[in-house]
Amino acid sequence: MKATVFTVTRHDLYVGAAVVSPEARYFSVVVPGVKAISRRSVTPEAWTLVVAEISAGFSDEPLPTFSKIVRLICCEDTSAYAVRCIAQPLIKTAASEQTGLELDKLLREVGDVGTRVASTSQPPSSAGRRSKAPTSARE
């Protein structure tokens, strides 16, 4: 099964990551400093739009703010965030009940890497400043 991995930035500062897998009906976000993974509740109609966006592919540029994926990840002022697709790995699991755990593991790994990169690449004047990313959505 394929997963799509996104990073979320605000004013060039890393504020989170998301993993989406329509096959598994998995759409979750992780925010630095928050241990819990934020699950997104996605309607069947929204899944149709998400699948269409993923099928169309992604460039290196941020997704447009009107994107259904961006709206589900950011769930508030989408214009304040830049969401980019960074990878589309294949996930192999031995059993279907392991799928969510594997996707959670991937999301945590991406979130940890993003946090480490952000903490080492921020200019000293912004090292203590971290933008708050949204943590819940219902669409």
pTM over 0.75: yes
The total number of residues shown for the chain amounts to 139
Integer CA distances (angstroms), 88 to 42, 94, 110, in order: 20, 19, 12
Convert the pLDDT of each residue in 7-65 to its tens digit.
Answer: 999 988 999 999 999 999 999 999 988 889 999 999 999 999 999 999 999 999 999 99
- 3-state SS class at 21: strand
